[in-house]
Chain A
Amino acid sequence: MSVQNLRVHRGHTLALDDVTLETPAGRVTAVVGGDGAGKTTLLEAMVGLVTVDSGTVDTPPRSRIGYMPSGAGSWNDLTVDENVSFVGGSYGLSTDEVARRAEELLGRANLLDARDRLAGRLSGGMRQKLGFCLAMLHQPELLVLDEPSTGVDPVSRVELWRLISEAAAAGTAVVLATTYLDEAERAGWVLVLERGKDLLSGSPDEVVASCPGVVVETDAPVHPDLSWRSGEHFREWWPDGPPDGDRPADLTLEDVSIVASLREGMKA
C-alpha cells in the first residue's frame, strides 16, 4: 500500500506536490505538518475523496479501508449502538458479527456503558474513540485517521493510542494525521509535510538524525527568525554550524519539523 508521486490541486492551490508514502501492514505512519500542509488532502486522496492530478494511489478497495474524518465520523443523532449497527450494515457485516465486533471494540474503548447514549452527547474523547471503533468495525487492511486526537484530553489520547497500537499489532496499516509531534514520535514512520511537499520521512529516529545543520539551546538567540522557544530556553538553528562553544541540543521531532519548515522557507 502506497502513494507515489502524488499531485493534487484544491481549486487553484497545489495541495500536494510529488508526495510519496509507503504504508506497509502493521505499521503506524504519522503524517505531520502545520495547518495547510496537505495532511488531510493526502489522507483524502488515499481514501478516494479528492481528485488526483497525477501519481499512483495503491490502496485496498473501499470495503477494506477504515476512515475516520476529522469530525469524528459518527452520527450525532444516533446512539453509540445505532452508529455501530448502521456502519456494520453498510459494510455488509452480519448482525452477529456486528454484535461481536461491537462488544470487542467498545469494550476496549471503554464505551460499553455509553452504548445507549447519543453520539452527539458524548464527550470529545468518547466521540473520537467511537469514530475509531466505527472505522475499525470491519477489520480494515488500511486504517486512515484524520487528526484523531485533536481536542481530546490526555487520558483519552493515551487510550486512543492504545487502540491504534493494537490495530497495528493486529496487522492493520495505520495512517494518521496529527499536529502533535510528541504523538508522532510513537509512530513507526513519520512523514513531514510542508505546503504540500514531503520534506522528511523515515522512522522518528531517522527523521531526527536527518536534521540538517545544528540546533543549539540558548538563552540569547542571535537570529530571531531562526529560533523558537522551548521551555525556559530558546532553540536556534544554524544551517552551517554554530559558533564555537555552543553545544548542540538533544533534538525532538518538533525541532526537526521546525527546521525543515525554516529550510523550506529559506529556499522559497
Chain B
Amino acid sequence: MRAMILKEFRELRRDHRTMGMLIGMPILMLIVFGYAANFSVDNIPTATLGPQAEQAASLIGGVPQAPFDVTDVDTTGTAEDAEGMLQRNEVDVAIVTGADPTVAYIDGSSLFSAQTAVAAFNRLGDRVQTQVLFNPDLKTSWVMVPAIIGLILTFIGTIITSIGMVKEKQTGTIEQLAVMPIKPSTVILGKIVPYFLLASLDMVLVTVLGMLLFDVPFNGSVAVFALGAGLFLFVVLGLGVFISTISQNVGQAIQTAFFFLLPQILLSGIIFPLEAIPWAVRWISYFLPLTYFTMISQGVMLRGAPFDSLWFPLLMLTVMAVVVFTGAVLRFRRDLAPGDGRRAKIKVAA
C-alpha cells in the first residue's frame, strides 16, 4: 500500500500538466468565480436623445443607485437614431425624449443589462415607457444560442483538431509523413481542411437547429456571420494545432485543451456579462477569441448589426487568426521536418 501511494506521488510529481490542473485550476476557478461570477450590471452605457436629452441625462444620472452611465447626449436625435445606436451596440439603452411618455429603447441582446435597465425603469413608474428591441421577451436562449455556436466551434477546433493531429505523433506515423515526398504545408493543410469543413458543417447545423428549436432570429447578413465564423475557426484550429505541438499523446492534448477552454467558457461573456466582470479579470476576456465571436454572432443574429459596426471584433479575430494560426503551423512544421534545417549539408544522389 505504502509503495503504491509513493509510486503514485512520484508519477504525479513528474506529470506537470496534471499538477498544474491540481494546483492551478482551483486557484483559477476561485479567482474567476470570485471576481467574475456576477450577473448584476451597474454600469449600462446609455444615450439620451430628443429635445429634453440634457434634462433626461441629469435626471437619469441623479437617480440614486441608477445603473445608467450616460455616454451620449443628442438633442436632435430621434427614435430611429436610437434604434441605430442600439443596433451598432454603441449603447445598451437609448432614451428618446420629446413625446409623452418618454421612451427608453433597450437592447435585448445584452440580456443582463436589459433586465437591469427594465427593472430600474419600472421603479420610475409611468414616466418612462420601455421598449426592448432585438429580444423583446428577454429570452435567455436567444442570447445563448449564438454564443453556444462559438463554444461548439471552440470545442471542435481545439479538442478534436488537437487529438487528430497528435494521434499521428502518438502512433509514430508522423515520421512516415515526414519522410514521404509531401510538402509540410500540404500535410498541415490536408490535416486541417477536414476539421475546418466539419466545424463549418457543425456551425450551420447548430445555427439552423437553434433557429428552429428556440425561434432565435437571424436578422443580419449571412456573409458577415460567415466571415466572423471563418476567422474564428482559423483561430481555434490554430489553437488545436498548437496544442498538438506541445502534447505527446491524446490524454495530454485533451488536458491542455481544457486549459484553453475553461477561460473561454467563463470569461468570454457567454455566462457572465463582460460589463459585470471587474477590470482586474476582464482584461483576460479581451484576449479570448470567443469574446469577439460572441459579439459578432449575437450582433448579426439578434440585432442585424451591419459590417461597419462589427469592425473591431472582426479585426481582433483577424489579428488572432494570423498570429495563432501562423505560429501553430510553423511549430507543427518544425515537428514534421526537423531535418530540413540541415538539408544543405546533405549530398543527395542524382
Contacts and interface: CB of A to CB of B under 8 A. Distances in A.
Contact of A49 (B171, B175, B181, B347): B175
Contacts of B176: 67, 69, 73, 134
Size range of the chain A interface in the assembly:
20 to 34
Contacts of B339: 45, 48-52
A87 interface: yes
A128 interface: no
A59 interface: yes
Interface of B: 171-173, 175-176, 178-182, 338-343, 345-349
A87 B346 contact: no
Contact of B342 (A51, A61, A73, A91): A51
Given A1-B349, A73-B172, A76-B171, A62 B343 contact: no
A70 interface: yes
A89 to B, nearest CB: 10
B172 A71 contact: yes
A129 to B, nearest CB: 16
Contact of B173 (A49, A50, A52, A71): A71
Contact of A90 (B180, B338, B343, B349): B180
Contacts of B340: 48
A56 interface: yes
A111 interface: no
Contacts of B173: 69, 71, 73-75
A97 to B, nearest CB: 15
A57 B180 contact: no
B338 A75 contact: no
Nearest to A1: B349
Contacts of A61: 181, 348
A90 B343 CA distance: 21
A52 B342 contact: yes
Nearest to A50: B339
A67 to B, nearest CB: 4
A123 interface: no
A62 B180 contact: yes
Given A62-B181, A75-B171, A90-B180, A49 B338 contact: yes
A134 B179 CA distance: 12
Contacts of A52: 339, 342, 345-346
Interface of A: 1, 44-45, 47-52, 54, 56-63, 65, 67, 69-76, 87, 90-92, 134
Contacts of A57: 345-347
7 nearest A-B residue pairs (beta carbon): A71-B172, A63-B181, A48-B339, A67-B179, A62-B181, A73-B176, A69-B175
A90 B181 CA distance: 7
Contacts of A45: 339
A83 to B, nearest CB: 10
A91 B348 CA distance: 18
A61 B180 CA distance: 10
13 contacts: A1-B349, A44-B175, A48-B339, A49-B338, A51-B341, A52-B339, A52-B346, A70-B172, A71-B172, A71-B173, A72-B172, A75-B173, A90-B182
A198 B349 CA distance: 23
B334 to A, nearest CB: 11
A59 B339 CA distance: 14
B345 A71 contact: no
Given A58-B349, A60-B348, A73-B173, A50 B338 contact: yes
B172 A49 contact: no
B249 to A, nearest CB: 13
Contacts of A92: 181
A42 B61 CA distance: 77
B179 A49 contact: yes
Nearest to B172: A71
Nearest to A57: B346
A86 to B, nearest CB: 10
Given A48-B179, A49-B338, A87-B180, 15 more contacts: A44-B175, A45-B339, A48-B343, A48-B346, A50-B338, A50-B339, A54-B345, A59-B349, A60-B349, A71-B172, A73-B172, A73-B173, A73-B175, A90-B180, A92-B181
Contacts of A76: 171
Contact of A47 (B179, B343, B348, B349): B179
Contacts of A134: 176
A108 to B, nearest CB: 21
A75 B173 CA distance: 7
A82 B69 CA distance: 63
Contact of A71 (B171, B342, B349): B171
A106 to B, nearest CB: 18
A58 B347 contact: yes
Nearest to A52: B342
A59 B181 contact: no
A57 B176 CA distance: 19
A69 to B, nearest CB: 5
Nearest to B176: A73
Nearest to B168: A75
Contacts of A44: 175
B248 to A, nearest CB: 14
Nearest to B178: A49
A75 B178 CA distance: 14
A106 B342 CA distance: 36
A89 B124 CA distance: 73
Contacts of A59: 346, 348-349
Nearest to A120: B171
B170 to A, nearest CB: 9
